[in-house]
Every structure is written in structure tokens, then in C-alpha cells.
Structure 1
């Protein structure tokens, strides 16, 4: 389930396999051209109070969509692109924001370790703001994946090389760790580079999604 005016629109525009849309009369009236283009999708008009009962949010939106989960068995390809690999990200808000960051910087592939939070958690979907429609999500053992590729990897740690010293990359895997413990030692141990955002103040650490945004801003912008 995906809910929110913008998210439902983004999913339709991206050609996702939307099965049904549940929406209020005013939302339907405001989006007639888009709905006519996607007339194959079953549309159900519901009263606002019914949508509120269906919603997982405190403040419900005017539209929700039911989608097929995309197939996740496509082979992973690391060469010729930049990927994000997430090790045990647990917070759905962080996960959704990281997917949105990937979309912003043109990173089309996010790889999640099996113990990451479910990317189809309603809070995660909400936090992506529609970016889930454009970013391929895959699940994989990250340590095993890194042992099977010659593509360079960049492990975000507290004690690595200053990211300011790295040129923008066109190929590689950026590794982001768990909110509390960071990346597992075995993953850091086989990474090509250890990278760090220099600390200039007294904060102990950065939020995982914030760190991802800063790293991508440095490593992706030419």
C-alpha cells in the first residue's frame, strides 16, 4: 500500500503495476487527465472517513494505491554504475529517505542486507515520496557481494579518509551502516576505501540518511 497525493501520482507516471486506487471525490476530480491515461487501473471513490480508517497515518491523505511488489530476483550488476549498499538499516524513515536521496543523485540501485527494515513498510514508502518508483531495490548478502566483484567500494566510517580528497565517481558501491553500530567489521575489512565526513563540532555521529546525503553530494557531483 502506498498513500499520499504525490506518491500515487509518481507511481502512475513511473508505470508501476498499480492495481487499485482508493481516493476521495475531490482527488479524483483534480486528477482526471492522469486517471484517463491509466484507465486500466481500478478506481474506487471512498469517503474521507473511510480512507482515514484504511490509512496507517495519523493525518490521512486523499489517495491510496495498491501495487504489486516488483520482482527482486533480477541479477545484480555493479559495473558501470554507482550503487548504495545498506547494512542493517533499521529505521523505516531513514530507509525511505536514503531511497529518496539515491533518486535525487541519479543512483538507480539500492542494495539492502537481509536484516534491513522492510522497504515496503508504510513509513518507508511514505518517506520515499515516490522515489521508490524509480530506484531498483535488491536484497543481498553485502559481504558476499563485495567478495565477488572487482568494483571499488567506499565504506562510510568514523575513522577513514576525508571524503574531500576523493574525486566524483562513475562506478562503485557506497556502503552505509546501521544507525547504532555502523558497518560490520567484516564489510569494512574487505572494502576498497574507508571514507569519513570530517567532524568539525562536538556531535558524536550523524544520522544515517544525513550522512548518505553528504557522501552522495561529494561523490556524485562532478
Structure 2
């Protein structure tokens, strides 16, 4: 059984302001909830349609789950977790930086890519979508707990960095002719505006993914797909 106040609260948590005020976020899906629990994230409450043996939970009916889910197709488990303190920033290895990425699905996919390629730190500009947005959390498929996402002023961060700095543009050196330093910084821009002028001024190496198809074909790649291609090349043996 779930109360009207609980339903209202959960729906309000789709908004960043409310998540920040309460210090909590929503995770849906058994795998995502389990991965967060295993990583040490503290669950405030877990709602489940079926038995959930891994932790204490509140039973809800399928209809009640439909009322609280933020997904088009309701999962059988929904958890409210405490937002951890600002994650530790890891200096070692390649660092991914996002400048104004606003699409939740793209950010979630990039977090999964970082997890896959062993990138520990993801640095985001303040205007990048919140990593605790429910759609981002869902798209990470549990990888959120493995990546340190830090929001900060990119210009200040980059000016302090001693690492080689790479950025992606429509015009630049082909990624297939460029060796990306495994201890470098890789910057990806927003879907619509690319990398901001302030950040571009600090970039030392401009990269591009060359087009092999017709000029009348796709005009661009979304940022998550571009990130996958570049990381695949960067980590090529």
C-alpha cells in the first residue's frame, strides 16, 4: 500500500530542484536498484511489485506502481536513494568532460561507456543535465554507481589540468590519424551547440570523426554515438 503523499513526493522527484532539496533520487528496475545497493548507496525506501529478497521493501500493486513510475513501461522495482556527497575526482587515466550535454539518454549512455572503457571520472559543466535525473539513471543501467560524476566550472578545471586536452568538432584532425593520450582529457560538446567558445579556447587538439557516406546523408552524430566511436578508437590496442 502506498499513500497519496508518497505518490506526490515521488512524482515531484522528477524535478532537479526537489531532488536537491531532499537529497534523494529515484532509480527504477531491479538491476539498477541492486547495483546501487551493492555499491553502498543508501536506500531510503524500496517499492516492489514482487518479492524483493535483497533488501527491505514496501509491497505495491501493479496499478500502484503505474502511478509512481516515471517510465512508459513500469518496472517491478523502484527505489529512492540518498544522493552521495560530491564524488571523489580521480586524476588517473583518460578523463571524459561534457560541455552542455542536455539529453538525459545521451548522458546515461555516456556514463555506461565510461564504465565499459574503465574511465573513472566524468566531469560535467553546470548546464549539463543532472546525472540523477530519472531518465539518466535508467539509461545508465546500473553504471552510475561505478562512475564519479563531478559538476564544476570547466574553464577553471581545464586551466588547472596538466593533461593534454582534446575536443571534438565538425572540423579537426581525423580520430583515425590521431593518437589520443591515455592520460588526456576528452571533451564532448552539446548536441545542438557543440563545445562552448570559452572551452574551445583552451583545447589543444581538435578532433573529428570523418564522414565516409554521402554529403546528402546524416549531417551529424549524436554525442553519445560520437563518444562511443572516439573511445573505441582511443582504446584501440
Alignment TM-score > 0.5, same fold:
yes
* Of 7, 11, 14, the match for 2:39: 14
Matched, 1:209 2:224: yes
- Aligned equivalents of 2:42, 2:179: Cα separation in 1: 38
- Aligned equivalents of 1:169, 1:105: Cα separation in 2: 14
Q: How far off its partner does 1:168 sit? A: 5.1
2:6 is matched with which residue?
A: none
Asked whether the 8 Å contact 1:151–1:173 carries over to 2, the reply is: yes
1:63 is matched with which residue?
A: 77
1:29-48 pair list within 5 angstroms: 32=53, 35=54, 39=55, 42-48=56-62
Spell out, residue by residue over 1:59-96, the C-alpha distance to the aligned partner (whole angstroms, 9 max, x if none). Answer: 1000011111111164x443x32111100001111111
* Secondary structure at the counterpart of residue 150 of structure 2: strand
* Secondary structure at the counterpart of residue 128 of structure 2: coil
TM-score (structure 2 length as normaliser) = 0.83
Spell out, residue by residue over 1:130-164, the C-alpha distance to the aligned partner (whole angstroms, 9 max, x if none). Answer: 11010110001111111111111110111111111
* Of 176, 179, 183, the match for 2:191: 179
TM-score (structure 1 length as normaliser) = 0.89
- Aligned equivalents of 1:22, 1:108: Cα separation in 2: 30
Asked whether the 8 Å contact 1:169–1:220 carries over to 2, the reply is: no
Matched, 1:189 2:179: no
- Aligned equivalents of 2:207, 2:159: Cα separation in 1: 19
Aligned residues: 209
- Aligned equivalents of 1:174, 1:168: Cα separation in 2: 9
Matched, 1:24 2:49: yes
Structure 2: 5+ residue stretches without partners:
1-25
- Aligned equivalents of 1:128, 1:210: Cα separation in 2: 15
Matched, 1:112 2:124: yes
1:221 is matched with which residue?
A: 236
